[in-house]
Structures are given as structure tokens and as C-alpha cells.
Chain A
């Protein structure tokens, strides 16, 4: 009976400690302006900035220069159709290639369409003719716009020319002749092939990941600097158990990040009418292990932060490699094996992939099971490592404190001995 009561008391005590540490961490977070910026301002504002940048989704009316050496009704028809296509705008009709090249140099045109002098003659004689396009390759979207517009126009004109050349067929035969094998292209999950709908979801997850790393790193650095002995964990009666420290702190971060995640992952896509076809419950179930894994990961990493500000130098630049390694902007299937394995170490990889599939592609939890399990595994592993590094910190702190105490004690003893000698 006594044993049970004892256990009960200790359990209550540890719960009390967890709650105490939780409150203390929460209070510090709210009071520290720097951490607040990372935990609230950046997640609030950053997605808006990005969505604003990519808001137009696609590039329309890329200016091109045109050199029409054919100057026939047919060539003008071709160019008119290109001009009418949504992605390309004819900025200038040039007399020769030299003039067109000058426009390219001045960045007034991002491509040249050259219609040869023999264009109409070839077509009238039943020969093939070549329209040349030259594109500025500083952005692949210019190239894509130019190529796709010209391809669509040429396909449409080709179909008509075919029908003209073989007269006397029925309408149905015409259709078959123009295109025996018709096809339908269906863009799934991002119907306008837009840039925002493709990049922003990944950025949103990354914002949560990076701000957690920054905020937790910053508060760890602060804790060290405030502490007289530059230790991460204060000597305090509530900081008695390892589990209590790690649980108390992580619960505080989790509490802050639940509303932040709701806003970033749930509200922002709606604000900018990005694809959002996931089930909220699925999303919530998925976000939980992601947040836990990230928090424990950040707590593990944060022991490397000695100074308050150095975490920014260490964390900010990783956003770019993390985005590329996640398999969104660079296809995951093309990521080399070595980097793929490296990418498994960070929660953002699984977080981004899972979120994109749930939010943009409407996957359910079973379809992101790999990511979900991986995140739980990461949460478990990083929880352990967080405990381990905190333990090392506590032991180190105790050792250093004891050493300090001993040197002080020895000094005092020496002084006493000297004083005694003097007296005698």
C-alpha cells in the first residue's frame, strides 16, 4: 500500500514538473520577441509573400520578335494564330534576323519566330516546310510558352492543310484524316499547370519546419547565454527528470504550433485559392507526427547552438537544399541514391511529400502510409536523441558545477590552512 502511494506521489510530482516546465517554456516563448517573430510573424507573413510572388501562376504573352520572309497570306495567318495564343505575344515584326536579334539583346523579345521565304511555295507544292524558332533560355517558361504555342498552331494548320489536299471526303473522313488518333490531355491536381499550386504547398511545410528549427535554436541559445555557466538546462528542482524536461518543452512548442499549422496548412491555400482537396481530419492526423518529429529534431539539433543568433546562420540556408531534396521541384525519381538516403534524415522530406499528396492530390492516410510511418519513426528516434543530448548536457552541467564547487572549496580550505599557519 505504501509502495503504491509512493508511486502515486512520484507520478503526481513528475506531472507537476512537466506542467511547470511547460508553463515556463511557454512564458519564455511569449516574452522573447525573437522567438515570437519566428513562431508567429514569419509563419504568418512568409506564405503571403510567396503566394504574392507566384500569384499569377503562369506566364502569359511572352514577347517574341517575328521575321516573316514569306509575306504571304498563309504566313500571316500562321503568325496571327501564334499572336492569338495565350502564352505568346508578337512584340515586333522585324525586317531581318539582325533586327530581331537586337530586340533579344535588349530583352524586348524572348524569342524569334522565323518564317522562311519558301514557306508558302513549299506548302503549295506539297513539300514540307520548316518554321524556325529561337528561344532565350534564361527561363524555361519562355521556352515552354514559345514551343507550345508554335506546336499547337502548326498542328491545327497541318490538320487543315491535309484536308485541303485530299478533297471529296465526308466530314467524318476529314476528321479521321486530320487526326486518326485523337488524344485528350488531362492535367491532374493542378489544372492550370501553375507555378504557385506546385511550389507553395511545399514552401508552406518548409516554413513550419524552418521556423521551428529557428525558434527552438534561438531559445536554446538564449537559455545558454542567460545562464551564468552557459548551460542549456538550468539547475532547478523541477528540472529533475530527463523525460519531464523534454516532454514539458516539446508540449509547449506543440501548443504554439497547432494554431500556426492550422493557419499555414489550412487557411493559406484557401486564401490564395490553391488546390485544396484533402480531408481536414487526414491532414490533422498527418500534421501531428510531422510536428512532433520536427520539434524533437529541432531540440536535438539545438544543442549545437552556442549563441543566440548563430542558429540563423546555420538554419536559413538549408531551406533551399531541403526544398530540392524533397522531390518537389526536382523530381524525386531523379534524386541520386545518396541524397535520397540523406533526405530521410529530415522531417521536411516526408512532411512535404505527404502534405502535397493529401492537400493537392486528395490522398487519404493509407496512401501516405510510408510518409506517415516514417514521420512517427523519426519522432521516436529524435525523441530518444533529444533525451540523450539533454542527458549529456545535464551530466556535463553537473560535472562542471561540481568541479567549480570543488575548486572553490579547495581554495577556501587552502586559505583556512594558511590562516591557521599564520596564527600558529
Chain B
């Protein structure tokens, strides 16, 4: 026990001296916490700029535009005389889409013929484009319905009869766990742990590599009486504590303060977070064991940490990726964490169906065992390579 504590004390002193560690372990994660939560504070982007090309210019078309403008996500910021000018405004980035009502729309409608409008979305900005598309499509359906309702009511149908004819089958949607379609809930639950895991990878690798660079690894090992497991545990425990505190703060802010959905209760998520910290540390030690030079180890850590965001499936589902990538995704701790979060916090299911991923995440903790000998050899013999 004494060597362990001695190593831990040495580690605390080491990183109290380095402003870089303060920044990477506390400053930057908290900065990211504030950044992402304030960036997406609105939950769903409101009032996205939309253009209008109204060649019809009648009371009906203006009514249509007003109704569209009243949608929460849509804000008609400009009217353009032609489609070309609207397209140019889109290329200038002023609007994310435009609604085009051709000349004679009202006339055609009143003749009881089929009129045709069109709308254009810029899907280079996928989220903005999709949100505007939803509003414009709904509006067009509603307009269609309103026109028909008028005819039906005029023919003497009751409102209920009219609605039953207008929309016989209604789709009743239930988005489970996130009924507001809140993007902050959807993204930050994985983004923030992802940023933290990236830092855990890098700090773990750096704190090991710096021992070789500064030629202190022998002193470190001798303090642990030559036992690498003791040396590693003593070194990483203080970091575990700091990272867990930061992660716990993130959890408390998200689930306790902002009331993000957390069906399993905060303690379970804290437990998963702790497992996440230790798993990422295990992965970090493994990375350095595989590439025991500071720079290459750090490159490995950054590559893994950054790809985690994409391959975890938080934004683009893993099942739509190439089968090879589907298999590879299990090698990323964030993937397991993401599935655990979805299972426990978002959906409120038990552990019965998700335990393989609990085991998967725990397996990362044991990963250093694989490269223990190689790592020890490196620590004892390797020279610093710039």
C-alpha cells in the first residue's frame, strides 16, 4: 500500500506543477461544457431564415406565406422577384431555402383545378434544410386541406365529416425519451463525454510518455518497488479522481440542473461515467504500450478520440456504416458508453439487455494487462525519440 501512495503523491506533485494538465483535465472540459450547452441552449433552432418567391401575389398566396412565417422554425426574411435571385441569396448563405408560388396559383385553385407550388431546401446545411423542409411540407399539406375544407363546408358537410375526408389516416408520433426533439439532449449526452474521453486518452499517454522523455521512469518504477501494476495504479488513480469529478459535474449539470431525460436516476449514470473514465484510461495505457513514444502514442490517442465521435453512432447510425466499421466500432469506449446511456438514461431500460456493453466497457480496463511486459521494457530501456 505504501508504494502505491508514494507513487500517487509523486503524481499529484507532478501535475500540480504543470499548467498544461490543469488546462486539459479541468479547464478545457469545462469550457466545452459551457460552450456546447450554451450553443444549443434553444434545443431546436428557431426562426431559420427562409426566402419567398411570390409570383402569384394574391391575398391567398400572402396568407400562405404568413402562415408559413408563423411556424416556429421558419422565418421569412426576404421576398425575391425571381427564383434565380432567391438561389443567389442561398449561395450567399442568407437563406437556407425558399418557397415558390408561381403566377396563377390562386386562379387555378378557384377553377377547381390542381395548382402546383414548389419549395427548395439547401441540404448542404442538413439540419437547417431538414427543419425547413418539414415546415414547408406541412404548410403545403395544410394549404391543400384548407382549400378542400372550404369546398366541403360549402357543400354542406360538417367539420368532422370534412376532416375525415381530408385526412382519413392520421399519424400520431411519439418520439420516446426526447419528445421535444431537443438537439442539445440528442448531441451533448455523447459529445461532452466524447471530449472528456479524448482528454483522458491524451493525458494518460502524455503522463506515461513524459516519464521516458524526462528520463524519470526508473525513479518512478523504483518508487513502486519495481512493480509496474502498482506504478500504473498509483499514477492513474489521482487522474481517475479528477476526471471522474469533472464527468460527475457534467452529469449533474445535464441531468440534475438542465433536467435532461435520465430515467435511471443520477447514481446509475455516475456509475457508468466512472466506468467510462477507467475504461478510457485503460485504453490510454494500451495506446502507449503499443506505440511507446510520446508523439506516436499521442497521435494514436488523438486519432482514436476524434474518430470516436463519428463511429459511436450518435449522429450517423452505425448500422448504416460499412460492416467492417460496424465491427471496429466496438473498439471505441465511446460506442459502448453511448449505448449504455441510451439504454439507461434515455430509454430507462434495465441492464438485462445491455450487459454485453457493460462488459465491453469493463474489458477496456483490463486492456493494459496485454501490453504490460512490452510497456515495462519500454519504460526501462526506451530513449526519447522526438
Contacts and interface: CB of A to CB of B under 8 A. Distances in A.
Interface string B15-38: 000001001100010001001101
Interface of B: 20, 23-24, 28, 32, 35-36, 38-42, 45-49, 87-88, 90-93, 96-97, 105, 109, 112-131, 133, 136-137, 140-141, 143-144, 147-148, 160-161, 163-178, 181, 183, 186, 191, 194-195, 198-199, 202-203, 206, 209, 213, 294-295, 298-299, 302, 305-307, 309-311, 313-317, 319-322, 325, 338-339, 342-343, 346-347, 349, 352-353, 386
A333 B115 contact: no
A361 B91 contact: yes
A130 B172 contact: yes
Nearest to A214: B302
A58 interface: yes
Interface string A146-180: 01001100110110011001100000110111011
Contact of B40 (A161, A330, A360): A330
Given A127-B164, A334-B46, 11 more contacts: A52-B322, A126-B164, A128-B167, A181-B105, A181-B144, A190-B124, A197-B124, A316-B202, A320-B194, A333-B48, A335-B39
A143 interface: yes
Nearest to A57: B320
B321 to A, nearest CB: 6
A118 interface: no
A312 B302 contact: yes
A60 interface: yes
B353 A333 contact: no
Nearest to B118: A184
Contacts of B127: 329-331
Contact of A331 (B24, B128, B310): B128
A271 to B, nearest CB: 16
Interface residues of A, number: 114
Contacts of A327: 125
Contacts of B93: 332, 353, 357
20 contacts: A34-B386, A59-B319, A105-B347, A107-B339, A107-B353, A140-B181, A140-B183, A155-B141, A162-B168, A179-B114, A180-B147, A182-B115, A184-B118, A186-B120, A190-B129, A225-B386, A321-B35, A329-B126, A334-B42, A334-B45
Contacts of B191: 320
A189 B114 CA distance: 29
B295 A34 contact: yes
B174 A313 contact: no
A367 B119 CA distance: 22
Contact of B45 (A129, A188, A193, A330): A330
Which one of B120, B169, B310 has the greatest number of beta carbons of chain A within 10 Å? B169
Contacts of A175: 114
B296 to A, nearest CB: 9
Contacts of A49: 307
Given A162-B165, A186-B118, A317-B199, A336 B299 contact: no
A362 interface: yes
Interface of A: 32, 34, 37, 49-50, 52-56, 58-60, 62, 78, 104-107, 123, 126-144, 147, 150-151, 154-155, 157-158, 161-162, 165-166, 172-173, 175-177, 179-191, 193-195, 197-199, 201, 222, 225, 275, 307-310, 312-314, 316-317, 319-321, 324-325, 327-336, 338-339, 353, 356-357, 360-363, 367-368, 370
Given A53-B310, A317-B198, A339 B96 contact: no
A181 B173 contact: no
Contact of B122 (A142, A144, A361): A361
Nearest to B132: A331
Given A78-B169, A177-B148, A309-B295, A189 B122 contact: yes
A131 B36 CA distance: 36
A185 B121 contact: yes
Contacts of B339: 107
Contacts of B181: 137, 140, 143
A94 to B, nearest CB: 16
Contacts of A225: 386
- Among the interface residues A150, A334, A338, which one has the most CB atoms of the partner chain B within 10 A? A334
A134 B279 CA distance: 33
B138 to A, nearest CB: 10
A202 to B, nearest CB: 9
Contacts of A320: 32, 191, 194-195, 306, 309
Contacts of A328: 125
B169 A123 contact: yes
Contact of B186 (A137, A147, A173): A137
A187 B171 contact: no
